[in-house]
Amino acid sequence: MSTWYEKGIFYHIYPLGLTGAPQWNTEESVVHRFEELNRWIPYIRSLGCNAVYIGPLFESSHHGYDTRDYKLVDRRLGDNDDFKRFTSLCHEAGIRVVVDGVFNHTGREFFAFRDIQEKGDWSPYKDWYKGVNFGWGSPLGDRFGYEAWQGHFELPCLNLWNPQVREYLFDVIRFWIDEFDIDGIRLDCANVLDFDFMKEMRRRTSRMKEDFWLMGEVIHGEYSRWVNPEMLHSVTNYELHKGLYSGHNDHNYFEIAHTIRRLLQVGYQLYTFVDNHDEDRLASKLRNKDHIYSVYTLLYTLPGIPSVYYGSEWGLEGQRTRESDAALRPCIAIEDEKKYHTELTDYIARLGRIHKENEELHTGRYQELTLTTRQYSFARFGENSVIVTAVNNDEHPAYMQVPSPIHGESAVNLLDGTVVPITDGKMNLVIEGGRGAVLKIKGV
């Protein structure tokens, strides 16, 4: 029996941006912006999404990844009761909730760091951080030095080898599960987290809540080092993310197909996406914006757990600068959805229904069928049925002759309901430029 995340379709929200919260946390009292987030829930479900990755959420000073307090919701968004209501409403709508776990570093206003600032070498928390050294001062004026994430001294790195730090963080996770009933954690900076820490987290969380999902942010490297029965269930598939847009921009489906072949050793449960809060919007990366349809067709039908970043279902554009990610994290009111709604929105909702209703796209075995630089087809297998996807990254219609991987008389294109005959074991297709077909064949 498959788990909820094997059937998952995620909607990704960066809440501080979506709600228009101030960039710096100078609020003296709580502002209840979760009321705005609650209004998004029916819309998220209408897209076919059954899971939300929302974060960062917890009290911080600036962008959310500089945590002040792991047990308080950021006052710019609301309070703990607000988040508890959000998760409850999501669960009532059949939507799972996954939050950011920022465990590699804290902000400078976190209680343990402030204690070191105050007490120096006498602080009982001096071993909670990496590289604390009272022989030199930090660039931010502290009387001690410490290791910071990528040299950003506003983000001091926690010492995850310290048993007290581990116990504190595991207590935080238990608190999140008990208090908010979350369903999983996306581990920020998982590529630099201690492996033993993540293994212990897997053991502990599996006892805290059945089917609790752990997904790590990993950009480069062999994903199987992180995704295995001892550690994480999934990681961010940045390798495929790059291939999905550059494979279209360069008219090179070989890049995508090679990536899939290479990653099959890891399994079928990598977290797949086309953009996020750190990456330029897909509509800004594609040279031919009409190819956005074939990209999303692949996102929903290739092996993986698909995710849509808020606003990208409308084809929104946005590019980061050297100074700011603000363009990637816009404030959007759900009441404006009708203004943003496009043909692409309906197309993604249709793909969501197809993914939900066809088990082949959850854990079904993958088989490549045809491949050229501009056309690509593959199959996902069920017990006595198969889904065949065919896509065309040319600017013009393409004729494709696709072999049927099982014996059948005809195929139904799930995108438009048309019936395609199977003649001599082959389907003869004409695919518009930048479009695709998702065909279901039942065995006879």
Closest alpha carbon to 76 in 41, 26, 125: 26
- Which of 296, 329, 362 terminates a domain? The answer is 362
Neighbouring residues of 242: CB distance < 8 A, sequence distance ≥ 6: none
What is the per-residue pLDDT across 242-258, written as a single tens digit (0 to 9) for each?
A: 999 999 999 999 999 99
Residue 307 and residue 291 share a domain:
yes
Confidence of residue 443 (pLDDT cuts 50, 70, 90): confident
Q: Distances in Å between the alpha carbon of 26 and those of 30, 61, 102, 284?
A: 11, 8, 21, 33
Residue 331 and residue 243 share a domain:
yes
pLDDT at 193 over 70: yes
Could you tell me what percent of the chain has a pLDDT over 90? Answer: 96
Q: Distances in Å between the alpha carbon of 361 and those of 21, 133, 177, 229, 438?
A: 37, 52, 29, 22, 11
Instruction: Give the mean pLDDT of 76-87.
Output: 98
What is the per-residue pLDDT across 5-18, written as a single tens digit (0 to 9) for each?
A: 999 999 999 999 99
Residue 241 and residue 138 share a domain:
yes
Cα atoms in the 13 Å half-sphere on the side-chain side of 27: 20
- Which of 307, 335, 362 terminates a domain? The answer is 362
Confidence of residue 27 (pLDDT cuts 50, 70, 90): confident
Strand partners, 441: 386
Residue 354 and residue 379 share a domain:
no
Instruction: Give the mean pLDDT of 46-52.
Output: 98
- Which of 306, 333, 362 terminates a domain? The answer is 362
Cβ(43)–Cβ(337) under 8 Å? yes
pLDDT for residue 2: 78
**Other beta carbons less than 10 A from residue 442's beta carbon:** 14
pLDDT at 89 over 70: yes
More confident: 168 or 265: 168
What is the per-residue pLDDT across 155-184, written as a single tens digit (0 to 9) for each?
A: 999 999 999 999 999 999 999 999 999 999
Residue 149 and residue 256 share a domain:
yes
DSSP 251-265: T-HHHHHHHHHHHTT
Could you tell me what percent of the chain has a pLDDT over 70? Answer: 100
Residue 370 and residue 347 share a domain:
no
pLDDT at 444 over 80: no
Residue 271 and residue 321 share a domain:
yes
> In whole angstroms, what is the distance from residue 285 CA to residue 270 CA?
22
Residue 180 and residue 80 share a domain:
yes
pLDDT at 121 over 90: yes
For residue 90, give the CATH number of its domain: 3.20.20.80
Residue 291 and residue 408 share a domain:
no
Residue 207 and residue 106 share a domain:
yes
Total number of domains in the chain: 2
Residue 375 and residue 350 share a domain:
no
What is the per-residue pLDDT across 269-308, written as a single tens digit (0 to 9) for each?
A: 999 999 999 999 999 999 999 999 999 999 999 999 999 9
Confidence of residue 1 (pLDDT cuts 50, 70, 90): low
What is the per-residue pLDDT across 304-320, written as a single tens digit (0 to 9) for each?
A: 999 999 999 999 999 99
Tokens 């993986």 -> residue: 304
> In whole angstroms, what is the distance from residue 330 CA to residue 307 CA?
18
Cis before 124 (ω within 30): no
Cβ(362)–Cβ(6) under 8 Å? yes
- 118 class by beta-carbon count within 10 Å (0-12 exposed, 13-18 middle, 19+ buried): exposed
Residue 400 and residue 262 share a domain:
no
Phi, psi of 23 (to 5 degrees): -65, -30
pLDDT for residue 19: 97
**Other beta carbons less than 10 A from residue 289's beta carbon:** 15
pLDDT for residue 347: 98
Confidence of residue 324 (pLDDT cuts 50, 70, 90): confident
For residue 427, give the CATH number of its domain: 2.60.40.1180
Domain encompassing residue 416: 364-442
